Amino acid sequence: MLSLLLQTIENTLGSSLGFAASVTFWVGVLMVAYLVVAPATRIVLDISSASAGLARHWVMQCPTCKRTAVVSGAECEHCGKPLGIPWHVRLRNFFSPEIEPDWWRYTRWVWAGVGITAFVIVTLTVLIQSGAWNPQTNVEKFLVGVALIAWAGFAWLMGRVLGLNTGGPISRLRDAVYALATAAVLSALVTLAVASRPVSETILARVTVQGQVAQVNGQAMPLVGYLFGFEYLQLDHELLGYRKVFPLAVVGSSSIPLVQGDWARRIVDHFWEHANGYSARGLSVRKRTEQVLVNEPGIYDVVLSGREVKINRYAVPADS
């Protein structure tokens, strides 16, 4: 129903949404890029300043000698007279000095670098895996743009919550509440963007049937009772709306494996061996088999259509 509604909006307003969708999408991209470039530039400037020997200090004009003095205590560094700094200000300076120890600087730089790297990896992985980097419709492009803006806002707030020297406990708690609200909006936008994407079809296997013999990837296999099955490993995460299908084999009187390469086999084996552990964490791991009666010759494509696996038949030239 949601996909049909969004498709109707696309058919009705798609052309008029083109400019707004493009602007929104690129604003989102620029905001995400800013969250990478700005802190990285800040780290480079901090490192360059430290290498040049620059440091921040509290300074004031001495009430006695009228010279600008670096506040490192209660007396002027020039004339030795009291600077007259109130006790509560001295207390504040003691607990939040402008001069940072070298170890704290290094820790802050490393922590910020880890955050930037994690943000880049997560962003690129999600964009590539979901196909959001290449929206198919104007409605999807608009929703992806708004989602990128929400993602940038969420990342900025989480940076303030988890960052060093970014505020006290009250401000961090406030930013955490805002981040949770932004995450809820982001989740809704992602759901809408996924629903607005046209259903794509991916051929998982192509089976050619002649009589009671099936051919897959150049290998022949006898069938039993004109029946063959397609075995696959299915991963589902209902909360995130995630589904992934790994083709395993075409099954008849024997089986023809479809998993190619050692890495693909290791990934499949890993998920199946740890199925219970993943299921306990919300990721369902199941082996399933789709069966089809093939009492007519033809080419049978096993297709992943959206989130469903189906089998389509095409006639061979001899049928026409």
What residue segments make up the domains of the chain, in order of their start?
2-52+100-196, 59-95, 201-319
For the chain, the average pLDDT equals 84
Contact 300, 292 (CB under 8 A): yes
Q: Which residue pairs from 2-5 have beta carbons closer than 8 angstroms and sit at least 24 positions apart in sequence?
A: 2/191, 2/192, 2/195, 3/195, 3/196, 3/199
Rounded Cα gap, residues 44 and 53, in angstroms: 14
- Spatial distance between the Cα atoms of 204 and 154, rounded to a whole number of angstroms: 37
pLDDT band per the 50, 70, 90 thresholds, residue 320: very low
pLDDT at residue 5 greater than cutoff 70: no
pLDDT score of 100: 66
Is the pTM higher than 0.85? The answer reads: no
Contact in structure between 230 and 221 (CB atoms under 8 Å): no
Residue 306 falls in which region: left (phi positive, over 0), alpha (psi -120 to 50) or beta: left
Q: How high is the pLDDT of residue 297? A: 83
The Cα angle at residue 287 between residues 283 and 291, in degrees rounded to 5: 135
**What is the rounded CA–CA span in Å between residue 45 and residue 52?**
10
How much is the average pLDDT of 132-154? 89
Query: What pLDDT is stored for residue 120 in this prediction?
Result: 95
- Give one DSSP letter per residue of 194-243, joined into a string: HHHSPPPEEEEEEEEEETTEEEETTEEEE-BTTEEEEEEEEEEETTTTEE
Beta bridge partners of 75: 82
pLDDT-based confidence at residue 148 (cuts at 50, 70, 90): very high
Average pLDDT over residues 68-84: 83
Please check the confidence at residue 182 and state whether its pLDDT lies above 90: yes
Q: Which residues pair with 203 in a beta bridge?
A: 303
Binned at pLDDT 50, 70 and 90, residue 252 comes out as: confident
Average pLDDT over residues 206-213: 85
Identify the residue whose tokens are 């397609």: 230
Quick one: which of 234, 203, 184, 218 has its CA closest to 312?
203
β-partners of residue 243 are 236
Alpha-carbon span 142 to 18, nearest angstrom: 8
Please check the confidence at residue 317 and state whether its pLDDT lies above 60. no
pLDDT tier at 29 (50, 70, 90 boundaries)? Answer: very high
β-pair partners for 293: 227
Q: What is the mean pLDDT of residues 127-135?
A: 81
The span from the CA of 173 to the CA of 171, in Å, is 5
